[in-house]
């Protein structure tokens, strides 16, 4: 899973990237007239997995992972319809976005629009994504119109045209595609290849220098708002745990914000975690919400899905309460045998029985 860190110039994208990944990319660099992408993969923090590690003493503990890409090159001119093709192509490959918005005062860092105004800045990039999607939708509609007489499969053609007309109406009304409630999962899947930017989930990240962040209203689906003191967190990310705790106390930062943002971006992508445990390895896996036991089996190993017989499922809380003893959870009826269509819940510990 890959999340793109986007935002206006000097909003703190690279600073946030450093805070989340522990990298030390140079900040304060203006990227103009080209695209610059830096990526790093991080573990998704999970206290439950930490606990399972303590209970099972495996040789290794493997976290779910998310990749962050710092995407520089969104110029100020973006508000003049300047989201160029190569940039759009880069953005289209992302599974979702962290949209960094400047909420810090710093006279040494010029703001491309002079004043600090998070709501305005969110609107600028959102409008650009909408416009970019609208152009893509209208190009497709034009194409469909040209192919009208050539196509052999009239029904499919009509269906696709109807979907794109719905997208067009929605975008023309200035609404991001992720707000469309009447798109079925099937339709969303079919649209994936187009990489529509306003269809992707987004976490607005207010980059503030205050312990209490400004309020921002962002009433959209598959979206969220978070705040971080990115500059301080980026410095903390370079420290060992002990020094980091002291540093946080000094700045009144109550919990590791970077860890919370990583966790939230994972949830935003519509993913849940399930676990596998053993002497060798304790591991968190990600699965789209709604995924079945068979999907989970296939995530772990294709053979598990091919030869799937059933899955023993134990909720994490029950296993932790039993001190990791399956004999106990089985005796108490907390470990259930489930078939292939069982819908996996966040925190399920799963053992797959299979035969190939």
Ligand X SMILES: Nc1nc2c(ncn2[C@@H]2O[C@H](COP(=O)(O)OP(=O)(O)O)[C@@H](O)[C@H]2O)c(=O)[nH]1
Q: Where are the beta strands (DSSP E) in 104-254?
A: 202-208, 223-228
Task: Pick between residue 109 and residue 144 the one whose CB is nearest to Mg ion.
Answer: 109
**Smallest separation (angstroms) from ligand X to the CB of 109:** 4
- With binding defined as CB under 6 A, does residue 230 bind ligand X? yes
Task: Pick between residue 26 and residue 219 the one whose CB is nearest to ligand X.
Answer: 26
Q: Which two tokens stand for residue 117?
A: 């105004």
Q: At residue 261, what are phi and psi to the nearest 5 degrees? A: -70, -35
The DSSP H or E segment spanning 134 is helix 118-147
Q: Which does 7 bind (CB under 5 to 8 A by kind): Mg ion, ligand X, none?
A: ligand X
- Give the CB-side neighbour count of residue 225, counting CA atoms within 13 A: 15
What is the total count of residues that contact Mg ion (CB under 5 A)? 3
Q: Which does 292 bind (CB under 5 to 8 A by kind): Mg ion, ligand X, none?
A: none
**Smallest separation (angstroms) from Mg ion to the CB of 324:** 44
Distances (CA, A) of 308 to 53, 225, 286, 296, 343: 26, 40, 19, 11, 15
Distances (CA, A) of 150 to 75, 137, 143, 162, 180: 41, 20, 11, 18, 31
Q: Which does 314 bind (CB under 5 to 8 A by kind): Mg ion, ligand X, none?
A: none
Chain residues 3-42 in contact with ligand X, contact rule CB under 6 A: 7, 9-15, 27-29
Q: Which does 109 bind (CB under 5 to 8 A by kind): Mg ion, ligand X, none?
A: ligand X
**Smallest separation (angstroms) from ligand X to the CB of 46:** 27
Task: Pick between residue 4 and residue 53 the one whose CB is nearest to Mg ion.
Answer: 4
What's the length of the chain? 356
CA nearest to 30, candidates 11, 3, 48, 53: 11
Task: Pick between residue 9 and residue 195 the one whose CB is nearest to ligand X.
Answer: 9
From candidates 4, 72, 176, 256, binder to Mg ion by CB under 5 A: 72
The DSSP H or E segment spanning 309 is strand 308-315
**Smallest separation (angstroms) from ligand X to the CB of 271:** 26
Binding footprint of ligand X on the chain (CB under 6 A)? 7, 9-15, 27-29, 72, 104, 106, 109, 207, 209, 229-231
């Amino acid at each position: 899973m890959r999340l793109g860190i986007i935002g206006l110039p000097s909003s703190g994208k690279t600073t946030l990237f450093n805070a989340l990944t522990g990298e030390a990319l140079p900040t304060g660099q203006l990227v103009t007239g080209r695209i610059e992408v830096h990526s790093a993969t991080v573990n998704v923090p999970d206290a439950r997995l930490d606990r399972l590690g303590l209970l099972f003493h495996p040789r290794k503990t493997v976290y779910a992972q998310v990749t962050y890409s710092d995407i520089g090159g969104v110029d100020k001119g973006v508000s003049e319809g300047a989201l160029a093709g190569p940039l759009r192509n880069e953005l289209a490959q992302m599974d979702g976005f962290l949209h960094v918005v400047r909420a810090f005062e710093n006279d040494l860092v010029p703001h491309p629009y002079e004043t600090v105004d998070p709501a305005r800045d969110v609107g600028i990039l959102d409008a650009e994504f909408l416009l970019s999607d609208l152009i893509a939708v209208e190009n497709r509609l034009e194409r469909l119109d040209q192919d009208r007489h050539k196509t052999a499969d009239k029904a499919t053609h009509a269906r696709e045209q109807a979907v794109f007309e719905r997208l067009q109406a929605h975008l023309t009304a200035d609404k991001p595609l992720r707000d469309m409630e009447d798109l079925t999962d099937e339709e969303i899947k079919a649209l994936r290849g187009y990489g529509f930017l306003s269809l992707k989930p987004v976490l607005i990240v207010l980059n503030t220098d205050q312990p209490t962040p400004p309020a921002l209203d962002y009433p959209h689906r598959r979206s969220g708002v978070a705040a971080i003191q990115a500059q301080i967190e980026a410095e903390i990310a370079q420290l060992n745990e002990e020094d980091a705790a002291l540093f946080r106390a000094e700045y009144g930062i109550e919990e590791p914000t970077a860890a919370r943002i990583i966790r939230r971006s994972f949830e935003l992508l519509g993913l849940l975690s399930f676990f596998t445990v053993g002497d060798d390895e304790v591991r968190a896996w990600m699965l789209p919400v709604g995924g079945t036991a068979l999907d989970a089996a296939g995530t772990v190993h294709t053979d598990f899905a091919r030869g799937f017989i059933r899955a023993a499922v134990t909720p994490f809380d029950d296993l932790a309460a039993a001190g990791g003893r399956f004999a106990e959870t089985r005796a108490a009826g907390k470990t259930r045998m489930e078939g292939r269509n069982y819908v996996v819940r966040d925190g399920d510990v799963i053992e797959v029985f299979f035969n190939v």
